[in-house]
Structure 1
């Protein structure tokens, strides 16, 4: 009983922590380009922090603070947009396969995705991006395509039991509309699973975009990008660690903050139902 009053405070603390962790990278990514001064290099490579460069300089002598402010848009917008696009396509795809009353429909919908899923993600990234004109739209499309099979599979798995259960049979017998059966009922059934998965899927999209930047796919090798900063400044990690640690910590903070927010939202939904 003594622990019960502390529960709301603990929840608020988790939410506040998640907002701070998620908010700082988002502010840097969205507002940073207007705050940064993308000037020419003013010092030598891997210069230590000083009054001119508060976090020192990177591998070509650029101010780390300015590069951090300029470097978040690709990771945040491309990664987040790719995850949302994969869900927009993958969730209806998987739910239609689960709701199909004929096995051949399920096979036709899911087998092509299984083939795509069998190809390593980095290989798909390299092949498609290598054959296309590099750019953020191509990179986002490739990341969405890589994530699509997994999103469709988990949507199908989450909806399969409910789609063939007694509640669905009763709705069919009583003549409930297709919309009410497949969107309101099945959608409500799979929502907790998909909300949990979406938090992890955003993290996966962020790391795929970062991996693409490491490989130079869709992002210039000297671009102001958090993933490129981590990769290109690794040789000077012990000389100038801020050029690696700050962008890496921002990506990590965004990932942890997203997962905390989704976790708290799911707890709240379970308590109200």
Structure 2
């Protein structure tokens, strides 16, 4: 008799998410309480009062790590929320409309945007416009709208084809009640699964954009920038690369494991079945 394979528990997922999240949110506060940056040392040195050594310009790695997480931790969730704020209404409207031309008008332009790789579009826009942190979040949200809208539309179309939706229409229920009260509830599990994967992808996309110098200054205290700028001294002082890279990996792995645990909850499974 085969025993079911045990999955990593929610505690591990929470720990993986909590460490980089707390460092990103509370790190700047700790740096402010500790005072100024202090004198710079030689590049890629170890010890000498610096627990994790110094970076490529002699700045303390611990201080840079404490200051460098906000762009990843704040930009990625903001971009995902903005993407869903546009994609969910578009997908629901395309799935529930009885006018074929309206669905074509809504979905075909999104198909065109899907043909352009996300990172390529970000680099093209960044070559023309000087993107800041807010601009990067908006652009990442934009490139995620087409795919998210198609997933919402596919999930909503399956629920919209049920006889219960037709019965609700015959009873004179409003579009809002049908779309949110019935169709929206029926696709919660699909959206939760997509949200976990999408947030992970957006985290990597934001980190990659920062690695390439998009949305952040070349010498900014940023985890992705730290990996890029310090990689030349990887064998001299590895902590300046390894620590920020591990924090990004821990955050993405923790998000995936956390959403896996959420999807296993009986309440979410039963809620999808009941509708």
User: Which structure 1 segments of 5+ residues have no match?
Assistant: none
- What is the Cα deviation at residue 74 of structure 1? 0.6
Report the counterpart of residue 173 of structure 2 in structure 1. 176
Distance in 2 between the 1:236 and 1:197 partners?
A: 38
Report the counterpart of residue 267 of structure 1 in structure 2. 264
- What is the Cα deviation at residue 40 of structure 1? 5.0
> Is 1:255 matched up with 2:252?
yes
Report the counterpart of residue 27 of structure 1 in structure 2. 22
Distance in 1 between the 2:64 and 2:136 partners?
A: 21
Q: Deviations over 1:143-185 (max 9, x none)?
A: 1111111111111111111112222122222333322211111
Q: Which moved more, 1:173-182 or 1:106-115?
A: 173-182
> Is 1:17 matched up with 2:12?
yes
Distance in 1 between the 2:194 and 2:52 partners?
A: 36
> Is 1:119 matched up with 2:104?
no
Report the counterpart of residue 139 of structure 1 in structure 2. 136
Report if aligned partners of 1:58, 1:64 keep a CA contact under 8 Å in 2: yes
Report if aligned partners of 1:33, 1:70 keep a CA contact under 8 Å in 2: yes
Distance in 1 between the 2:169 and 2:269 partners?
A: 30
Q: Secondary structure at the match of 1:233?
A: helix
User: Which structure 2 segments of 5+ residues have no match?
Assistant: none
Distance in 1 between the 2:60 and 2:228 partners?
A: 16
Report if aligned partners of 2:189, 2:269 keep a CA contact under 8 Å in 1: no
Which one of the candidate residues 142, 163, 167 is aligned to 1:166?
163
Distance in 1 between the 2:60 and 2:197 partners?
A: 32
Report the counterpart of residue 55 of structure 1 in structure 2. 52
- What is the Cα deviation at residue 86 of structure 1? 0.5
Report the counterpart of residue 229 of structure 1 in structure 2. 226
Q: Which moved more, 1:15-24 or 1:161-170?
A: 161-170
Cα distance change, pair 272–97 in 1 and its aligned pair in 2 (3 A):
closer
Cα distance change, pair 197–235 in 1 and its aligned pair in 2 (3 A):
same
Distance in 2 between the 1:160 and 1:190 partners?
A: 10
Q: Secondary structure at the match of 2:264?
A: helix
Report if aligned partners of 1:130, 1:217 keep a CA contact under 8 Å in 2: no
Distance in 2 between the 1:134 and 1:201 partners?
A: 22
TM-score with structure 2 setting the length: 0.90
Cα distance change, pair 271–89 in 1 and its aligned pair in 2 (3 A):
closer
- What is the Cα deviation at residue 134 of structure 1? 2.7
Q: Deviations over 1:170-205 (max 9, x none)?
A: 222233332221111110111111111111111111
Alpha-carbon RMSD = 2.0
TM-score with structure 1 setting the length: 0.91
Cα distance change, pair 79–44 in 1 and its aligned pair in 2 (3 A):
same
